Structure 1
Protein backbone atom coordinates (compact mmCIF):
# COMPACT_ATOMS: atom_id res chain seq x y z
CA UNK A 1 0.00 0.00 0.00
CA UNK A 2 1.43 3.36 -1.00
CA UNK A 3 1.86 5.95 1.74
CA UNK A 4 -0.51 8.87 1.56
CA UNK A 5 1.14 12.10 0.48
CA UNK A 6 -0.43 13.64 3.58
CA UNK A 7 1.84 13.40 6.60
CA UNK A 8 4.66 11.61 4.86
CA UNK A 9 7.38 11.04 7.46
CA UNK A 10 11.17 11.01 7.21
CA UNK A 11 13.86 10.32 9.81
CA UNK A 12 17.20 11.99 9.00
CA UNK A 13 20.22 11.14 11.11
CA UNK A 14 23.96 10.87 11.45
CA UNK A 15 25.44 8.29 13.80
CA UNK A 16 29.09 7.77 14.68
CA UNK A 17 28.95 4.90 17.18
CA UNK A 18 25.43 3.59 16.58
CA UNK A 19 23.50 5.29 19.40
CA UNK A 20 21.70 7.76 17.11
CA UNK A 21 21.16 4.99 14.54
CA UNK A 22 19.36 2.88 17.18
CA UNK A 23 16.98 5.73 17.99
CA UNK A 24 16.48 6.70 14.32
CA UNK A 25 15.68 3.14 13.26
CA UNK A 26 13.31 2.72 16.21
CA UNK A 27 11.41 5.89 15.21
CA UNK A 28 11.27 4.95 11.51
CA UNK A 29 10.07 1.42 12.24
CA UNK A 30 7.53 2.52 14.84
CA UNK A 31 5.86 5.25 12.76
CA UNK A 32 6.44 3.80 9.28
CA UNK A 33 8.76 6.61 8.20
CA UNK A 34 11.44 6.60 5.55
CA UNK A 35 15.04 6.70 6.75
CA UNK A 36 17.84 8.95 5.48
CA UNK A 37 21.30 8.37 6.94
CA UNK A 38 23.84 11.16 6.44
CA UNK A 39 27.10 9.46 5.47
CA UNK A 40 30.36 11.43 5.28
CA UNK A 41 32.56 10.55 2.31
CA UNK A 42 35.45 10.28 4.77
CA UNK A 43 34.46 9.09 8.23
CA UNK A 44 36.44 9.89 11.36
CA UNK A 45 38.46 6.82 12.42
CA UNK A 46 39.37 7.93 15.93
CA UNK A 47 38.48 5.95 19.05
CA UNK A 48 38.67 6.63 22.78
CA UNK A 49 39.77 10.08 23.87
CA UNK A 50 41.06 10.95 20.36
CA UNK A 51 37.53 10.80 18.91
CA UNK A 52 36.53 13.61 21.28
CA UNK A 53 39.59 15.64 20.36
CA UNK A 54 39.11 15.19 16.59
CA UNK A 55 35.31 15.49 16.70
CA UNK A 56 35.43 18.58 18.92
CA UNK A 57 38.05 20.22 16.71
CA UNK A 58 35.85 19.60 13.65
CA UNK A 59 32.98 21.37 15.41
CA UNK A 60 35.14 24.28 16.56
CA UNK A 61 36.59 24.74 13.06
CA UNK A 62 33.04 24.62 11.64
CA UNK A 63 33.95 21.75 9.30
CA UNK A 64 31.42 20.60 6.75
CA UNK A 65 32.44 17.12 5.62
CA UNK A 66 31.38 16.06 2.13
CA UNK A 67 28.43 13.68 2.28
CA UNK A 68 27.48 10.80 0.02
CA UNK A 69 24.54 11.78 -2.20
CA UNK A 70 21.17 11.76 -0.44
CA UNK A 71 18.67 9.17 -1.66
CA UNK A 72 15.62 11.06 -0.36
CA UNK A 73 14.47 14.67 -0.71
CA UNK A 74 13.20 16.21 2.55
CA UNK A 75 10.97 18.52 0.47
CA UNK A 76 8.80 15.46 -0.28
CA UNK A 77 7.90 14.98 3.40
CA UNK A 78 5.56 16.70 5.86
CA UNK A 79 7.00 15.49 9.18
CA UNK A 80 10.75 15.21 9.64
CA UNK A 81 12.69 13.79 12.60
CA UNK A 82 16.35 14.83 12.74
CA UNK A 83 18.89 13.11 14.98
CA UNK A 84 22.52 13.67 15.87
CA UNK A 85 25.18 12.66 18.31
CA UNK A 86 26.35 15.57 20.46
CA UNK A 87 29.88 16.75 19.67
CA UNK A 88 31.35 19.63 21.67
CA UNK A 89 27.86 20.48 23.02
CA UNK A 90 26.22 20.80 19.58
CA UNK A 91 25.20 18.77 16.53
CA UNK A 92 27.80 16.78 14.58
CA UNK A 93 29.53 18.25 11.48
CA UNK A 94 27.63 16.07 8.94
CA UNK A 95 24.47 17.90 10.03
CA UNK A 96 26.25 21.22 9.45
CA UNK A 97 26.84 20.07 5.86
CA UNK A 98 23.23 18.94 5.54
CA UNK A 99 21.80 22.20 6.91
CA UNK A 100 24.01 24.28 4.60
CA UNK A 101 23.11 22.33 1.45
CA UNK A 102 19.50 21.21 1.92
CA UNK A 103 16.80 23.78 2.56
CA UNK A 104 13.22 23.11 3.50
CA UNK A 105 10.53 25.30 5.03
CA UNK A 106 7.14 24.92 6.68
CA UNK A 107 7.77 21.35 7.79
CA UNK A 108 6.93 19.85 11.16
CA UNK A 109 10.31 18.89 12.63
CA UNK A 110 11.18 16.88 15.74
CA UNK A 111 14.74 16.77 17.07
CA UNK A 112 16.58 14.01 18.90
CA UNK A 113 20.12 13.60 20.13
CA UNK A 114 22.38 11.08 21.83
CA UNK A 115 25.19 12.14 24.11
CA UNK A 116 27.71 10.82 26.58
CA UNK A 117 27.62 13.81 28.86
CA UNK A 118 25.58 16.91 28.10
CA UNK A 119 23.30 18.05 25.30
CA UNK A 120 24.68 21.60 25.52
CA UNK A 121 23.18 23.88 22.86
CA UNK A 122 22.44 21.07 20.42
CA UNK A 123 18.70 21.74 20.06
CA UNK A 124 19.10 25.52 20.23
CA UNK A 125 21.65 25.38 17.39
CA UNK A 126 19.53 22.99 15.33
CA UNK A 127 16.49 25.25 15.74
CA UNK A 128 18.54 28.19 14.45
CA UNK A 129 19.25 26.19 11.27
CA UNK A 130 15.58 25.25 10.94
CA UNK A 131 14.03 28.64 11.65
CA UNK A 132 11.36 28.47 8.93
CA UNK A 133 9.95 25.20 10.24
CA UNK A 134 7.66 24.23 13.10
CA UNK A 135 9.66 22.43 15.82
CA UNK A 136 7.20 19.94 17.31
CA UNK A 137 9.40 18.14 19.83
CA UNK A 138 12.85 17.37 21.14
CA UNK A 139 14.32 14.56 23.19
CA UNK A 140 17.81 13.51 24.23
CA UNK A 141 19.27 10.14 25.14
CA UNK A 142 22.34 9.24 27.19
CA UNK A 143 24.30 6.49 25.39
CA UNK A 144 21.27 4.27 24.68
CA UNK A 145 23.36 1.38 23.32
CA UNK A 146 25.17 0.85 26.61
CA UNK A 147 23.08 2.47 29.34
CA UNK A 148 19.31 1.88 29.28
CA UNK A 149 18.59 0.53 25.82
CA UNK A 150 15.14 -0.96 26.44
CA UNK A 151 14.00 2.00 28.54
CA UNK A 152 15.19 4.43 25.83
CA UNK A 153 13.46 2.46 23.07
CA UNK A 154 10.25 2.65 25.09
CA UNK A 155 10.80 6.40 25.74
CA UNK A 156 11.29 7.21 22.05
CA UNK A 157 8.21 5.22 21.04
CA UNK A 158 6.09 7.09 23.61
CA UNK A 159 7.58 10.42 22.48
CA UNK A 160 6.84 9.83 18.80
CA UNK A 161 3.33 8.60 19.63
CA UNK A 162 2.66 11.80 21.60
CA UNK A 163 4.03 13.99 18.83
CA UNK A 164 1.90 12.38 16.13
CA UNK A 165 -1.20 12.38 18.35
CA UNK A 166 -0.85 16.14 18.92
CA UNK A 167 -0.51 17.11 15.24
Structure 2
Protein backbone atom coordinates (compact mmCIF):
# COMPACT_ATOMS: atom_id res chain seq x y z
CA UNK A 1 0.00 0.00 0.00
CA UNK A 2 1.54 3.30 -1.11
CA UNK A 3 0.43 6.34 0.89
CA UNK A 4 0.54 10.10 0.36
CA UNK A 5 0.04 12.59 3.15
CA UNK A 6 -1.16 15.90 1.69
CA UNK A 7 -1.45 18.88 3.98
CA UNK A 8 -1.50 22.62 4.36
CA UNK A 9 -0.12 24.29 7.48
CA UNK A 10 0.03 28.00 8.27
CA UNK A 11 1.44 27.79 11.79
CA UNK A 12 3.16 24.37 11.79
CA UNK A 13 0.50 22.54 13.88
CA UNK A 14 -0.82 20.56 10.92
CA UNK A 15 2.70 20.05 9.60
CA UNK A 16 3.79 18.40 12.86
CA UNK A 17 0.90 15.91 12.62
CA UNK A 18 1.53 15.30 8.90
CA UNK A 19 5.15 14.41 9.65
CA UNK A 20 4.08 11.89 12.30
CA UNK A 21 1.45 10.32 10.01
CA UNK A 22 3.87 10.06 7.06
CA UNK A 23 6.53 8.49 9.27
CA UNK A 24 4.10 5.94 10.73
CA UNK A 25 2.76 5.00 7.28
CA UNK A 26 6.17 5.19 5.62
CA UNK A 27 4.39 7.43 3.13
CA UNK A 28 5.24 10.34 0.92
CA UNK A 29 4.64 13.87 2.15
CA UNK A 30 3.24 16.80 0.16
CA UNK A 31 3.01 20.20 1.83
CA UNK A 32 0.77 22.50 -0.20
CA UNK A 33 2.25 25.97 -0.65
CA UNK A 34 0.07 28.78 -2.01
CA UNK A 35 1.83 31.29 -4.24
CA UNK A 36 0.42 34.07 -2.04
CA UNK A 37 0.22 33.27 1.66
CA UNK A 38 -2.10 34.96 4.13
CA UNK A 39 -0.62 36.82 7.12
CA UNK A 40 0.57 34.47 9.85
CA UNK A 41 -0.59 36.57 12.80
CA UNK A 42 -2.82 39.35 13.95
CA UNK A 43 -6.33 40.29 12.93
CA UNK A 44 -5.57 40.02 9.19
CA UNK A 45 -4.83 36.31 9.60
CA UNK A 46 -8.37 35.66 10.83
CA UNK A 47 -9.99 38.11 8.43
CA UNK A 48 -8.29 36.86 5.26
CA UNK A 49 -8.11 33.22 6.29
CA UNK A 50 -11.76 33.06 7.33
CA UNK A 51 -12.98 34.96 4.27
CA UNK A 52 -11.00 32.80 1.86
CA UNK A 53 -12.26 29.59 3.51
CA UNK A 54 -15.92 30.69 3.58
CA UNK A 55 -15.83 31.79 -0.06
CA UNK A 56 -14.05 28.57 -1.12
CA UNK A 57 -11.08 30.39 -2.64
CA UNK A 58 -8.73 28.31 -4.75
CA UNK A 59 -5.27 29.86 -4.53
CA UNK A 60 -2.68 28.91 -7.09
CA UNK A 61 -0.19 26.48 -5.59
CA UNK A 62 3.60 26.54 -5.98
CA UNK A 63 3.75 22.75 -5.77
CA UNK A 64 3.90 20.21 -8.48
CA UNK A 65 1.39 17.51 -7.59
CA UNK A 66 2.62 13.92 -7.99
CA UNK A 67 0.70 11.35 -10.01
CA UNK A 68 -2.12 10.42 -7.61
CA UNK A 69 -2.79 7.19 -9.53
CA UNK A 70 0.36 5.75 -7.96
CA UNK A 71 -1.15 6.01 -4.44
CA UNK A 72 -3.66 3.64 -2.85
CA UNK A 73 -4.22 5.79 0.22
CA UNK A 74 -4.27 9.57 0.54
CA UNK A 75 -4.35 11.25 3.92
CA UNK A 76 -5.48 14.89 3.84
CA UNK A 77 -4.57 17.23 6.69
CA UNK A 78 -5.85 20.74 7.24
CA UNK A 79 -6.26 23.41 9.85
CA UNK A 80 -9.89 24.29 10.44
CA UNK A 81 -10.78 27.79 9.31
CA UNK A 82 -14.34 29.05 9.77
CA UNK A 83 -15.58 25.48 10.23
CA UNK A 84 -14.08 24.12 7.02
CA UNK A 85 -10.86 23.06 5.31
CA UNK A 86 -8.38 25.62 4.02
CA UNK A 87 -8.28 27.16 0.53
CA UNK A 88 -5.06 25.30 -0.34
CA UNK A 89 -6.84 21.99 0.33
CA UNK A 90 -9.76 23.25 -1.77
CA UNK A 91 -7.36 23.87 -4.67
CA UNK A 92 -5.82 20.41 -4.30
CA UNK A 93 -9.22 18.70 -4.29
CA UNK A 94 -10.64 20.83 -7.12
CA UNK A 95 -7.62 20.46 -9.40
CA UNK A 96 -7.19 16.70 -9.03
CA UNK A 97 -9.45 13.78 -9.84
CA UNK A 98 -9.61 11.89 -6.57
CA UNK A 99 -11.82 8.87 -7.11
CA UNK A 100 -11.69 5.29 -5.92
CA UNK A 101 -9.06 6.00 -3.29
CA UNK A 102 -8.84 5.15 0.39
CA UNK A 103 -8.84 8.46 2.26
CA UNK A 104 -8.18 9.59 5.79
CA UNK A 105 -8.67 13.12 7.11
CA UNK A 106 -7.04 14.90 10.01
CA UNK A 107 -7.58 18.43 11.19
CA UNK A 108 -5.94 20.78 13.67
CA UNK A 109 -7.87 23.50 15.44
CA UNK A 110 -7.82 26.00 18.24
CA UNK A 111 -11.38 25.42 19.30
CA UNK A 112 -13.36 22.81 17.40
CA UNK A 113 -15.28 22.51 14.15
CA UNK A 114 -13.80 19.17 13.11
CA UNK A 115 -17.11 17.35 12.63
CA UNK A 116 -18.38 20.02 10.23
CA UNK A 117 -15.05 20.12 8.37
CA UNK A 118 -14.99 16.33 7.95
CA UNK A 119 -18.61 16.30 6.73
CA UNK A 120 -17.67 18.80 4.01
CA UNK A 121 -14.65 16.74 2.98
CA UNK A 122 -16.77 13.56 2.89
CA UNK A 123 -19.31 15.33 0.70
CA UNK A 124 -16.83 16.66 -1.86
CA UNK A 125 -14.85 13.38 -1.93
CA UNK A 126 -17.83 11.00 -1.86
CA UNK A 127 -16.48 8.78 -4.66
CA UNK A 128 -13.83 7.41 -2.30
CA UNK A 129 -13.67 5.14 0.74
CA UNK A 130 -13.21 7.15 3.92
CA UNK A 131 -11.09 5.12 6.33
CA UNK A 132 -11.21 7.46 9.28
CA UNK A 133 -10.94 10.96 10.67
CA UNK A 134 -9.15 12.48 13.63
CA UNK A 135 -8.70 15.97 15.00
CA UNK A 136 -6.11 17.61 17.21
CA UNK A 137 -6.40 20.65 19.45
CA UNK A 138 -3.43 22.96 18.97
CA UNK A 139 -2.75 22.87 22.72
CA UNK A 140 -2.30 19.08 22.92
CA UNK A 141 1.12 17.85 23.99
CA UNK A 142 3.35 16.22 21.35
CA UNK A 143 3.41 12.86 23.14
CA UNK A 144 -0.40 12.79 23.21
CA UNK A 145 -0.52 13.61 19.48
CA UNK A 146 1.86 10.76 18.67
CA UNK A 147 -0.25 8.29 20.69
CA UNK A 148 -3.43 9.48 18.98
CA UNK A 149 -1.87 9.17 15.50
CA UNK A 150 -0.59 5.66 16.21
CA UNK A 151 -4.00 4.57 17.53
CA UNK A 152 -5.80 6.15 14.55
CA UNK A 153 -3.51 4.50 12.01
CA UNK A 154 -3.77 1.10 13.71
CA UNK A 155 -7.55 1.17 14.09
CA UNK A 156 -8.73 2.95 10.95
CA UNK A 157 -6.07 3.40 8.30
CA UNK A 158 -4.28 0.02 8.42
CA UNK A 159 -6.74 -2.61 9.50
**TM class, shorter-length:** over 0.9
Aligned to 2:123: 128
How many Å separate the matches in 1 of 2:69 and 2:89?
17
Whether the 8 Å contact between 1:46 and 1:54 is mirrored in structure 2 is no
Give SS of 2:106's match: strand
| Bigger Rg, structure 1 or 2 | 1
Aligned to 2:111: 117
Unaligned runs of 5+ in 2: none
Unaligned runs of 5+ in 1: 1-6
CA RMSD of aligned residues (A): 1.4
How many Å separate the matches in 1 of 2:106 and 2:25?
15
Runs of 4+ residues deviating >6 angstroms: none
Aligned pairs, how many? 158
1:105 paired to 2:106: no
Aligned to 1:152: 145
Aligned to 2:39: 45
TM-score by length of 2: 0.93
Give SS of 2:98's match: coil
Deviation by residue 1:86-142 (Cα, 9 ceiling, x = unmatched) = 000000010111111011211110110000011251101111121110001000000
Aligned to 1:162: 155
